[in-house]
């Protein structure tokens, strides 16, 4: 997006002085231009300077917002960047046992590559984890990540508090796919897939706009 354009999604990387009240001043300037902040993160926080990244929907002129931000005493520089949504797009998180995570990732990455070539933006994140509380905490933490469209649970045995966590994130609208494993997690998931490679493929197909696949139209949920 050019400086003189208006409307659409905007990515701003702002370097500021470090100290209390800086974020308040930045968001105040954005609000005065009717900017709707979609996400914000502190990329770097050092005594010398802080870098803050914003993604926002802006109905007004971008050059006017940038000019106002640069006039703030706490701001050192304002850089226009492509949003993470434009670059990395939708995210799929795969967690569980290392071997199973690797196989799910194999299918997901291969399928994502096929769709990304056709204009999609889908990225795959993986983390091997063991232990009921560790996994339950990780599942709940997915709600704090941006751009996540689906979670794949890959393991041999998951239940207890992990099942409760799965039901919680599903109630927030997150798609959860589980391998066909022992434990109660498969009962709580949207979709259960036995083959880990196929689970990765189906996760990508479920979130891709270039795929003619919707879980709601399936007549069964275990494969």
Domain-wise residue ranges, the chain: 9-83, 88-217
Model confidence at 210: pLDDT above 90: no
CATH class of 9-83: alpha beta
Q: What Cα–Cα distance (Å) separates residue 93 from each residue in 48, 89, 174?
A: 35, 13, 11
Query: What pTM did the predictor assign?
Result: 0.78
Q: Evaluate whether the domain defined by 88-217 bears CATH number 3.90.230.10.
A: no
Cβ partners under 8 Å of residue 61, min gap 6: 4, 5, 6, 33
Residue 98 or residue 210, greater confidence? 98
What percent of the chain has pLDDT above 70? Answer: 97
pLDDT value of residue 1: 41
First to last CA, the chain: 44
């Amino acid at each position: 997006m050019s400086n003189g354009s208006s409307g659409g999604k905007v990515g701003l990387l702002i370097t500021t002085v470090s100290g209390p009240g800086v974020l308040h001043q930045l968001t105040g300037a954005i609000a005065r231009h009717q900017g709707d902040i979609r996400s914000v993160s502190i990329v770097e926080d050092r005594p010398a300077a802080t870098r803050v990244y914003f993604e926002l929907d802006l109905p007004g002129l971008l050059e006017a917002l940038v000019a106002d931000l640069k006039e703030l005493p706490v701001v050192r520089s304002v850089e226009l960047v492509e949003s993470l949504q434009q670059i990395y797009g939708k995210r799929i998180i795969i967690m569980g046992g290392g071997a199973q995570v690797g196989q799910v990732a194999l299918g997901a990455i291969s399928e994502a590559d096929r769709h990304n070539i056709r204009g999609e933006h889908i990225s795959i994140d993986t983390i091997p984890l063991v232990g009921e509380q560790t996994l339950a905490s990780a599942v709940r933490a997915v709600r704090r990540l941006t751009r996540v469209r689906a979670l794949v649970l890959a393991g041999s045995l998951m239940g207890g508090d992990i099942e409760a966590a799965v039901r919680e994130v599903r109630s927030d609208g997150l798609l959860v796919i589980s391998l066909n494993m022992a434990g109660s997690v498969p009962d709580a998931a949207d979709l259960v897939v036995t083959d880990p490679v196929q689970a990765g493929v189906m996760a990508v197909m479920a979130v891709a706009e270039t795929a003619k696949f919707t879980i709601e139209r399936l007549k069964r949920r275990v494969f």
